[in-house]
Amino acid sequence: MNNFLFSIFRLGKVQSPKVPGYFVVSNAPINVEGDNFASSGEQIPGTEPYQEKTIDEIATSLYQKVDQFVNNKLDYIELVISIHGFSNSKAASIKRFEEIHNYIDRDSEQLPPDLGNNLMYIGYRWPSEPLNGSNGDLLKDKLIPAFTALPLLQRGIFLMGIVAVILLLLPQSYPFFFNSLFGWMGWIILVTFLTLFLCILTFVLLRLSGYFRDTYRATHFGVPDLVEFIRQLDRAIVSKAIAKDIAQVRSSLEQLTTLLSQKVKLHLQTSNELDIICARVVQDYCKERTVDLRKFPRSQIEIATIATKIIELETDVQFIELRDGVIAFLETQSKNYWQYKNRIKLSFIGHSMGGYLLADVIRILSDVFDSRSIGTLGLTNKLPSPKIGRVFRLGRLVLIAPDIPINTILSGRANVLQSALRRFEETYLFSNEGDLALRLASSFANYFSFPARRRASGYRLGNLAIRDTEKYGIVNLDKVKKKPPYSFSLDHLFVDSFNLSQSLKEMQAEFYISQIGNREKVYSLFTYFDCTDYTDLGQNSNSTPYRLLTIARGKWEPQLLYYLRLILANAFGGKDTHGGYFQGEFCQALMYRLAFFGFGGFLDSLIPEALTTPVNQTKLTELEEAINQCERQCLTIRQHANSEVQEQLKRLEEELIELRNQQKILMRQSALFYLSEKCQNKKIQVILSSERYAVDILGRDRKKVRWEMLN
């Protein structure tokens, strides 16, 4: 079994892509018995594994970007991590990650340099189990283990049940059953075994679906391994910043090395490499408060081990003061560095069960004891910091058909993500009303484990829909312009299934009665994309747009009949109700550009297409003329500047800044209207968070806007 928690591969065949990409795979086994089983021995063609130095490679790249980047308060180095969903093979995962990386690397070439040079992408693979087995052998990987893993009693009942089925189906056995008392007793026994057989068969089928097993692996393998990867990356980046200041404590390190060498000699015979090994141990320990013995050659392990124990446990006062003084200086320098440098923005894309995994990761990564996230019990006016660890801050969260409870966006004690969601600067949800994987499979599977009294509470966030209207595009476009930020009603969001149709407003009122006067509007932080009717050119289509996720429903058609047709279309008709988001060009642009560039950057990418109407061109021309005139006046005054005209120059510079802000607002407003038209053409309904309009278009302070929205 691999000693590392995870392995790292490089994405992309290009030697020097504009956006570096990596593929991180958890080395946790498919089955708990270990990697000797075929189901966990799956290999990835066309990739070469790196050793731990690849984390160092990622850390070096990120640190260099931060160190070289102009430290504008709005400019960040960004790391985007995407997580796949339920029942994905390694081959399918890396294919999806390659598609995302290729798209954004190609897309960034067409955008302004500042939108591409500051990016890095990582695809994270947790040990999910494909429906047909890890190696494509359903019998060997799934059916046989499902039977052999049964407890002996249940296995015996299962076999007797098979015999009962055969006997009950044989016409020759009917006279025996119904002509005597013993026959009746035999029939009752066989029916009993048949009933027990069907119960056990149900559990076997649930096992074969892999849902509960994937949930276990996501919770106990996927979550801690991703958290550890981020922690190790945080440590490696901090180490890069500390290494920069090593030269300033060189003399202290040399003194510490001399003392350590003297103490090691008391336990070992003199070695030619002793001083070199001790110097390395001292430097590593002072940088990271730990020494990784795996980095030493086998011939040096004994000396390095003794030196490490001494530097950790030594009680000599002079030694301790020297060691702790060096560590304190380096840590202070590192804190000062990250105090004046923008932190690395960490964003996530989670699909399906990847959203479930991501929910736990976010909760662990959040600074639980940050004073701004605690507040007073019973109050909700908390603005937790987006900072996590020592070098990261949370940026954007993009959830695509997430397999997480619908109460995640409702206020109440049952919302376990409320505090963590407030840490993200931007949050987006892509869902569709007809997602069968969530509506049928997930809802049924979670019936056993999710503590809900009502059917509506058991539905998943990926099934959320926007209230049915004839309008597509940004349905609340006119209202988001209001000041203070407009907060839409939960009545616009609903779940709809068979004989159930309930808005989230009704659910909120029904299930969280005790908190009527104390509700945070966490739902208002999301921007919602309802892709139920999404129509576009698919990957297998040449010219004709079609509905990628669902089928059209007739006004006369009963809902039960519609879902039966949708199930058939999903199985045989080329529809993908759960993953069709990734097949359409426009939806890809929405998901990936929002994750990598943010809403403001996404609007900027649409400006060249948006500024084509005569109205926009006229207004922009007027603004450009005013800006040019103001710039000429400033230049003239600077050339003949004296104390008497300084006030006039200051006024003109302020006017120039205001004109440029107006130009930016107008251009982004034009891009927003263009986006709404595009969504309308593609039959996507959007509810835009008013925070996005206030912050990304009007340029208002995010903290102030969020305070107004949540309180």
For residue 191, what are its two tokens? 């029916």
Report DSSP state, residue 205: H
Q: In this predicted structure, what is the pLDDT of residue 639?
A: 62
Best CA proximity match to 653, nearest among 664, 643, 661: 661
| 369 C-beta neighbours (distance < 10 Å), count | 7
Scan for tokens 């409702």, then name that residue: 410
Of the listed ranges 82-91, 269-278, 293-302, 350-359, the one predicted with least confidence: 269-278
Read off the pLDDT of each residue in 43-49 and give the average, rounded to a whole number.
46
Best CA proximity match to 371, nearest among 379, 383, 380, 389: 383
Q: In this predicted structure, what is the pLDDT of residue 500?
A: 60
Q: In this predicted structure, what is the pLDDT of residue 50?
A: 41
Rounded to 5 degrees, what angle do the CA atoms 185, 187, 193 make? Answer: 105
For residue 9, what are its two tokens? 């591969």
Determine contact, residues 452/511, Cβ cutoff 8 Å.
no
| 711 C-beta neighbours (distance < 10 Å), count | 12
Read off the pLDDT of each residue in 207-227 and give the average, rounded to a whole number.
90
Q: In this predicted structure, what is the pLDDT of residue 650?
A: 67
pLDDT of residue 269 exceeding 60, the answer is: yes
List pLDDT tens digits, range 624-651: 777 777 767 677 766 665 666 666 666 6
Q: In this predicted structure, what is the pLDDT of residue 617?
A: 66
In terms of DSSP bridges, do strands 465-466 and 500-503 run parallel, antiparallel, or are they unpaired? unpaired
> Residue 687, class by beta-carbon neighbours within 10 Å (0-12 exposed, 13-18 middle, 19+ buried)?
buried
Read off the pLDDT of each residue in 215-238 and give the average, rounded to a whole number.
92
Determine contact, residues 2/41, Cβ cutoff 8 Å.
no
Q: In this predicted structure, what is the pLDDT of residue 112?
A: 61
Read off the pLDDT of each residue in 150-178 and give the average, rounded to a whole number.
83
Residue type, 205: L
Q: In this predicted structure, what is the pLDDT of residue 594?
A: 96
Report DSSP state, residue 467: P
Q: In this predicted structure, what is the pLDDT of residue 99?
A: 93
Q: Which residues contact 404 (CB under 8 A, 6 or more apart)?
A: 355, 356, 359, 417, 460, 461
Domain ranges, ordered by start, for the chain = 138-209, 239-339, 376-389+402-425+447-583+683-711, 603-681
- 264 sits in which H/E element: helix 250-265
Q: In this predicted structure, what is the pLDDT of residue 372?
A: 53
Determine contact, residues 532/549, Cβ cutoff 8 Å.
yes
Q: Which residue has the higher pLDDT, 115 or 492?
A: 492
Q: In this predicted structure, what is the pLDDT of residue 331?
A: 87
In terms of DSSP bridges, do strands 119-125 and 21-26 run parallel, antiparallel, or are they unpaired? parallel
Q: In this predicted structure, what is the pLDDT of residue 674?
A: 92
Judged by DSSP in three states, 155 sits in helix
Read off the pLDDT of each residue in 312-328 and give the average, rounded to a whole number.
88
C-alpha distances out from residue 31 to 40, 141, 216, 266, 334, Å: 7, 10, 11, 48, 42
Determine contact, residues 383/703, Cβ cutoff 8 Å.
yes
List pLDDT tens digits, range 131-147: 877 666 777 778 888 88
Report DSSP state, residue 141: I
Read off the pLDDT of each residue in 275-288 and give the average, rounded to a whole number.
89
Of the listed ranges 52-56, 194-198, 221-225, 240-244, the one predicted with least confidence: 52-56
Residue 36 CA to its chain's centroid (Å) = 31
Measured in residues, the chain has a length of 711
Q: Which residues contact 311 (CB under 8 A, 6 or more apart)?
A: 260, 281, 282, 285, 291, 323
- 273 sits in which H/E element: none
Cα separation of 456 and 460, whole Å? 9
Q: In this predicted structure, what is the pLDDT of residue 46?
A: 45
Scan for tokens 């302020």, then name that residue: 654
Q: What's the mean pLDDT when you consider all of the chain?
A: 82
pLDDT of residue 283 exceeding 70, the answer is: yes
Nearest-Å Rg of the Cα atoms of the chain is 31
Determine contact, residues 518/666, Cβ cutoff 8 Å.
no
List pLDDT tens digits, range 488-532: 778 788 777 665 667 777 777 766 554 555 566 788 889 999 999
Beta-bridge partners for 122: 22, 81
pLDDT of residue 49 exceeding 50, the answer is: no
Best CA proximity match to 285, nearest among 237, 253, 250, 241: 253
Residue 79: φ, ψ to 5°: -115, 120
Read off the pLDDT of each residue in 325-333 and give the average, rounded to a whole number.
89
Q: In this predicted structure, what is the pLDDT of residue 290?
A: 87
Best CA proximity match to 577, nearest among 468, 704, 692, 462: 462
Read off the pLDDT of each residue in 388-406 and give the average, rounded to a whole number.
91
For residue 537, what are its two tokens? 């050119």
Cα separation of 456 and 405, whole Å? 10
Q: In this predicted structure, what is the pLDDT of residue 524?
A: 86
List pLDDT tens digits, range 66-104: 888 756 666 789 999 999 998 888 888 999 999 999 999
| 488 C-beta neighbours (distance < 10 Å), count | 19
Residue 106: which pLDDT band, with cuts at 50, 70 and 90? confident
Residue 347: which pLDDT band, with cuts at 50, 70 and 90? very high
Q: Which residue has the higher pLDDT, 81 or 414?
A: 81
> Residue 479, class by beta-carbon neighbours within 10 Å (0-12 exposed, 13-18 middle, 19+ buried)?
middle
Scan for tokens 């006004």, then name that residue: 555
Read off the pLDDT of each residue in 473-494 and give the average, rounded to a whole number.
81
In terms of DSSP bridges, do strands 426-431 and 392-400 run parallel, antiparallel, or are they unpaired? parallel
Q: In this predicted structure, what is the pLDDT of residue 647?
A: 67
Order of all β-strands in the sheet with 500-503? 465-466, 493-497, 500-503
For residue 571, what are its two tokens? 């199985």
Determine contact, residues 392/403, Cβ cutoff 8 Å.
no
pLDDT of residue 38 exceeding 70, the answer is: no
Cα separation of 473 and 471, whole Å? 7
pLDDT of residue 288 exceeding 50, the answer is: yes
Q: In this predicted structure, what is the pLDDT of residue 37?
A: 42
Q: In this predicted structure, what is the pLDDT of residue 474?
A: 93
Q: In this predicted structure, what is the pLDDT of residue 643?
A: 62
Count CA atoms closer than 13 A to 341's CA, side-chain side: 24
Best CA proximity match to 241, nearest among 341, 324, 346: 341
Judged by DSSP in three states, 22 sits in strand
pTM: 0.88
Q: In this predicted structure, what is the pLDDT of residue 217?
A: 92
Read off the pLDDT of each residue in 541-557 and give the average, rounded to a whole number.
82
Scan for tokens 């053409």, then name that residue: 681
For residue 322, what are its two tokens? 């020297």
Q: In this predicted structure, what is the pLDDT of residue 366?
A: 78
Read off the pLDDT of each residue in 300-328 and give the average, rounded to a whole number.
89
